[in-house]
Structure 1
């Protein structure tokens, strides 16, 4: 068997052979070195590629629905924000808004808030702007009162709600804006309200508590896909605004927290509230339009309002309240597919002598109630006034109030309707309503004074002022079939790429 040229037996000690063998060996070493370099290079390329893939895997595209998408994007961390829950980011937020506002006319901008706890005082947004919260992002409201500017009272109110002087600016605020969006992947805004509730109960507030989100004098507003916790006072307050979309909001506050209303459209036109879940210490939705002589003078109604698929828990307040501040008028409100659980009242109208204006053309259908004090309530003597200068001759008009296709269980009292002597509430229509009374319900489930109207297919039998017209009239109290303009507002699928 012939030996391999590189076998040990083929080697001898002659210089020639040694030289030749060395040359062959060096040649082989060079080949090995080349191969080794190639292998190392390939490994290095794979390692780099792996790092790139890992980097790419840490980035992802966020998709969300919005009334408008944005051309430009930035992250809050680009402006020096720190998400440790301790560092104030008020300046970082405001620097971001101020710098990004230059892109408003160039396709708009979105500010991305990544995961973390971002402590901040009040933030003022700008037009053509989207504030987007990551699912694990939490905005924490600062407890440093120096981070809350003070505003004048609303002109339709004449004074603050908590105190006669002004009011603290809301956590997320904007005025005179066009096309502004606050949304997220169910990110959280925590008002840390206990700090404010304690001051309120102790009478230590010079100004009215801030709200969580408020936009004034604005058009085309979207507030969606967020969780709002422990607001100092009202949660969402669009005021003097139009074309407002509130969707997919979860609002949570202790049921004994003071004035933590859920969503309060106030002197607004063309508003839609959909798919919201609210647990609060006050009305889940409170429709308003100014207070006594100030609201009458300002004269701006809330009208063309849609409320759909609302779930409410509020043992001391209403599912949907109309008033009591309604002195600019409330008209054309359409609520459907509403659920109330352990809530004081279902639909409540609150007004008084001195309010003036009207609540009219109210339509509610497909409502389900479970464990209620009242199913329906109307108060003509809700006597809270901003001052003693209200006009005693300013009588409100309450008319064309329609409730149909409603069921309830464990109700203590079907209804309490108290109109105003000499100014009866008229055009009340209730059809196809079945109220299951609680074991310890009132002996007389209906109480009615100074009202006019009719019923059809209602159980238990209503009061004499609302005579039953028989089941053949069950088609009465019809819900409007036309679409309001806010229903024509289309949303788009927008995206933001992180990393």
Structure 2
């Protein structure tokens, strides 16, 4: 009898173990991802799948790059879903297809050598209601899309290509003369001033029907079909999904943004190579919008716009949604070309909070750490912890807070004017439309070869609040500028500024500077300016001849500066 019970026990245990092994095709998140995290962060739930797999080739797919396999992908996904979940295998080959809709309990797995290439035929992408750039709008359906799906993944080592060159307008100023001539000879339509190329006449009409480049607001919704080619989709759209994993593949050449999780939770983005041409309009890498409980680690980005960007809706649409991006860890990522390495905004009207960013490297990125917003947004960005960031050859600002963002690229393009984002000193009433940035902590920051060490700027009516920069080495042409900021702490910060003062403070208060070192360059190292400036504290030990190394503006209040 004992032997019988023992056998039953062993068989049961073996069955449980087998079940666990079959369900566990997904590598767990290692504990070190959660180590050193300052925020209260729940463990992110990964998807899991039964050990069941089908190949798209079993449903008639042909990997020759010529036959369209949209139906085969759909049938393979349906087969897996109806059986209770599993993997849809994409083997080696070039698999041309229209849109792919992911459904619950599906893992789209790209084997080595697999290239999923999305069709250039705009008719494959019907118009759908969605959200883009934080606004409720209509766009073409995304090449990869999921709505209210649970337990989904895209894994493997293959490549997903959105054929974005078929969709994107291109500015002449972003190309060499040879590249531009080749593009124009390929077909398409030029803008009236000959400075922008459009793939079709519909695309051009969409551009001329818009005041903000991306959402046609000068025509009615009934007319959107006439500008359909202009309504470029994000490549991967995951809306209201739960337990999402993207692990391993290369995502490249997206029509607009590359990867866009929206209003989703338990999202893991890891081990990806995210690429777009540097000239790609709206060629963001990852836009995490109104999501909670997410991990972003071990990825590489080389894109045409912002790399890792957190958003939560724009203006009234974002405030009505009221869903912040929250509880996110960003670790061990490398960014090459991008407008910003780690970015918050500008569409942050629902808020961004409880974020940890560490151990990232930005190489030649236009801006390293980029925070942007403007009057009208509303929303609160708070409790952001950033540490151990290395940056090199940042052409503009290693750290930038800009509350007058108007859409300009960090490196101005031919059709952009710095005056569009000029600071307006007029104080306007604080309302729900006033953005707030507060409680942002940065430490162990190293940047060499930058244009500007750091730029902190709030609004005259709503200061940038409680920002701390500690243990930083910033080597740049220009030093640190502080405007409309309340509660800035600079501790153990070394600035090597080639052309300007190491630190300039204007119309700010409660600024505490200690352990501040700088190199002499013929300019006054520290300047304190502005009639609204108050409670600025410097450490006498940081200066050899403080009366010569610190200058005060003529309109500075008498007791605004304190030397301890």
Tell me the TM-score normalised to structure 1 length. Answer: 0.75
The answer for the alignment partner of 2:139 in structure 1 is: 167
* Aligned mates of 1:371, 1:127 — CA distance in 2: 43
Residues 403 and 194 of structure 1: is their aligned pair in 2 closer, same or farther, counting only changes over 3 Å?
A: same
Residue 96 of structure 2 aligns to a residue whose secondary structure is strand
Residues 265 and 393 of structure 1: is their aligned pair in 2 closer, same or farther, counting only changes over 3 Å?
A: closer
Cα pair 2:25 2:49 within 8 Å, conserved:
no
Residue 153 of structure 1 aligns to a residue whose secondary structure is strand
Cα pair 1:333 1:361 within 8 Å, conserved:
yes
Q: Which runs of 5+ in 1 are unaligned?
A: 1-61, 161-165, 386-390, 472-499
Which of the pair has the greater relative contact order for Cα pairs under 8 Å at 6+ separation? 1
Cα pair 1:353 1:393 within 8 Å, conserved:
no
* Aligned mates of 1:290, 1:409 — CA distance in 2: 34
Task: Kindly state the Cα deviation for residue 299 of structure 1 after the two structures are TM-superposed.
Answer: 0.4
Task: Kindly state the Cα deviation for residue 99 of structure 1 after the two structures are TM-superposed.
Answer: 2.7
Residue 82 of structure 2 aligns to a residue whose secondary structure is helix
The answer for the alignment partner of 2:55 in structure 1 is: 75
1:192 aligns with 2:160: no
* Aligned mates of 1:242, 1:415 — CA distance in 2: 33
Q: 2:472 aligns with which of 416, 433, 445?
A: 433
The answer for the alignment partner of 2:492 in structure 1 is: 457
Cα pair 2:133 2:347 within 8 Å, conserved:
no
Q: 2:120 aligns with which of 143, 150, 173?
A: 143
1:361 aligns with 2:383: yes
Residue 70 of structure 1 aligns to a residue whose secondary structure is coil
Cα pair 1:426 1:451 within 8 Å, conserved:
yes
1:119 aligns with 2:107: no
Task: Kindly state the Cα deviation for residue 149 of structure 1 after the two structures are TM-superposed.
Answer: 2.5
* Aligned mates of 1:393, 1:80 — CA distance in 2: 55
Q: 2:27 aligns with which of 65, 79, 82?
A: 65
* Aligned mates of 1:430, 1:336 — CA distance in 2: 14
1:86 aligns with 2:58: no
Task: Kindly state the Cα deviation for residue 169 of structure 1 after the two structures are TM-superposed.
Answer: 1.6
How many residues are paired up?
Answer: 391
Task: Kindly state the Cα deviation for residue 109 of structure 1 after the two structures are TM-superposed.
Answer: 1.6
* Aligned mates of 2:375, 2:121 — CA distance in 1: 40
Q: 1:424 aligns with which of 459, 463, 466?
A: 463
Q: 1:378 aligns with which of 385, 396, 401?
A: 401
1:95 aligns with 2:72: no
The answer for the alignment partner of 2:515 in structure 1 is: 470
1:337 aligns with 2:317: no
The answer for the alignment partner of 2:445 in structure 1 is: 406
Tell me the TM-score normalised to structure 2 length. Answer: 0.66
Task: Kindly state the Cα deviation for residue 155 of structure 1 after the two structures are TM-superposed.
Answer: 8.9
Task: Kindly state the Cα deviation for residue 63 of structure 1 after the two structures are TM-superposed.
Answer: 6.9
Q: For 1:74-127, what per-residue CA distance to the aligned partner results, in whole angstroms no more than 9, with x for missing partners?
A: 1001111010001100111112222322123xxx22110000000011111111
Residue 316 of structure 2 aligns to a residue whose secondary structure is helix
Task: Kindly state the Cα deviation for residue 153 of structure 1 after the two structures are TM-superposed.
Answer: 3.2
Q: For 1:288-321, what per-residue CA distance to the aligned partner results, in whole angstroms no more than 9, with x for missing partners?
A: 0000011001101100011101111125x10011
Residue 383 of structure 2 aligns to a residue whose secondary structure is strand
Cα pair 1:233 1:260 within 8 Å, conserved:
yes
**Shift >6 Å, 4+ stretches:** none
* Aligned mates of 1:462, 1:313 — CA distance in 2: 28
The answer for the alignment partner of 1:251 in structure 2 is: 274
Residues 157 and 201 of structure 1: is their aligned pair in 2 closer, same or farther, counting only changes over 3 Å?
A: farther
* Aligned mates of 2:391, 2:109 — CA distance in 1: 34
1:224 aligns with 2:224: no
Cα pair 2:136 2:317 within 8 Å, conserved:
no
Cα pair 2:59 2:72 within 8 Å, conserved:
yes
* Aligned mates of 2:399, 2:276 — CA distance in 1: 24
Cα pair 2:301 2:336 within 8 Å, conserved:
yes
Residue 468 of structure 1 aligns to a residue whose secondary structure is strand
Residue 412 of structure 1 aligns to a residue whose secondary structure is strand
Cα pair 1:155 1:294 within 8 Å, conserved:
no
Cα pair 2:25 2:51 within 8 Å, conserved:
no
Cα pair 1:350 1:380 within 8 Å, conserved:
yes
Residue 211 of structure 1 aligns to a residue whose secondary structure is coil
* Aligned mates of 1:330, 1:383 — CA distance in 2: 20
Cα pair 1:418 1:449 within 8 Å, conserved:
yes
1:275 aligns with 2:298: yes
Cα pair 1:127 1:180 within 8 Å, conserved:
yes
The answer for the alignment partner of 2:108 in structure 1 is: 131
* Aligned mates of 2:366, 2:404 — CA distance in 1: 18
* Aligned mates of 2:481, 2:514 — CA distance in 1: 19
Task: Kindly state the Cα deviation for residue 393 of structure 1 after the two structures are TM-superposed.
Answer: 5.4
1:446 aligns with 2:480: yes
Cα pair 1:271 1:305 within 8 Å, conserved:
yes
Residue 289 of structure 2 aligns to a residue whose secondary structure is coil
* Aligned mates of 1:234, 1:155 — CA distance in 2: 9
Cα pair 1:403 1:429 within 8 Å, conserved:
yes
The answer for the alignment partner of 1:176 in structure 2 is: 148
Cα pair 2:269 2:295 within 8 Å, conserved:
yes
Q: 1:234 aligns with which of 257, 262, 281?
A: 257
